[in-house]
Amino acid sequence: MMAGLLYCVGTMPRDYYEVLGITRGASDDDIRKAHRRLAKEFHPDRNKSPEAAKRFSEAQEAYDTLSDPQKRKAYDQFGHAGAAGNPFGGGQPGASGPWQNVNPEDLEDMLGGLGGIGDFLRGGGVGSRGRTGRTSRSTSRAGSNIEIETTVDFTTAAVGGVRSVTVRGEDGKPTKIDVRIPPGVSSGSPLRIAGRGNPGMGGGPAGDLILHIQVAPHPHFRRDGLDILIDVPITIAEATLGTKVSVPLLKGMVDVRVPVGTSSGTRLRVPGKGIAPLGKAAGDFYAVIKIAAPPSLSDQDQKALQEIGERLPNPREGLW
């Protein structure tokens, strides 16, 4: 039935060059352009005139013959007899039918998005439609993303490292993936790993894995932007007389000098020892001094401290 529609009805088909409106010396590009113009004009899904289907079939039959070098040579020598042998214009019985020289996607684009030609090439006929009434098209589809939340320890988030996460795709199977955590990642930061989401369909690319990072608190360190802070308790005597204390960094240790008369809350800076994201300057490290009063004193120490306190100036003098 479809062959009957596409084949030019009648016993005396028109000259193929006349059908396409070109000369016998036309180039391959001329043939293609002429066919493109006529297909757009007479496609049955676009042109509802009684002659449209016939003209469309004529143009396709002409193009099928003239776009094939061997068929064109036979046609130029013997006319329609040279292209005879089956109703599709092939020279040999069993030869492939029309549309064999047309790129389906190119022609669908040429027809302004009409899906019928693609359906015909896939065996559905011109303008074939599915149960929903919409034109069916075989297309690839990218896989969907997988989004999960994962908790990263403070040190890994600060200096970077590798973390293993378990991912469940659309099939429900758990898969362990080692993910490289970049230095400086913070809570709420999305981390995208390309191509590790659900697989695509029809040759489409896989989706991405998107990790929503939560950073676990540290027992000693806290973060302020790219700076790292740690509370360092010292005694009243150390704060008054000055001292040197050893404190931990993100990596290793550092000796920090506490000046004479340091007050509680003073920040002692160690430059460049904070968080160092890739391609950015590192933050700083701060030892935050906390003067720790002794919970109890001997009678002798209490008396000595009281005598000292009586000789010290009032720190609140003139404040209010």
Mark which of 215, 245, 271 sits at the end of a domain: 215
Listed as own residue / partner, the contacts of 116-121 with beta carbons closer than 8 Å and 24 or more positions apart are: 116/43, 116/44, 116/45, 117/43, 120/2
Rounded-to-integer distance, Cα 58 and Cα 216, Å: 73
Residue 168 in domain: yes
Number of domains in the chain: 3
pTM: 0.53
Q: Is the pLDDT of residue 95 over 60?
A: no
Same domain, 88 and 20: yes
Query: What are the phi and psi torsion angles at 54 (to 5°)?
Result: -65, -45
Q: Is the pLDDT of residue 299 over 80?
A: yes
Rounded-to-integer distance, Cα 82 and Cα 47, Å: 31
Give the pLDDT confidence of 169-217 residue by residue, as tens digits.
Answer: 877 889 899 999 999 999 988 999 999 989 988 888 999 999 999 999 9
Mark which of 174, 197, 215 sits at the end of a domain: 215
pLDDT of residue 62: 87
Name the band, by pLDDT with cuts 50, 70 and 90, for residue 246: very high
Same domain, 78 and 163: no
| Residues comprising the chain, all counted | 320
Residue 37 in domain: yes
Residue 57 in domain: yes
Same domain, 17 and 55: yes
Residue 306 in domain: no
Q: What is the mean pLDDT of the chain?
A: 81
Kindly state the average pLDDT of the residues 145-153.
92
Residue 307 in domain: no
pLDDT of residue 83: 63
In which domain, by residue range, is 161 found? 146-215
Residue 131 in domain: no
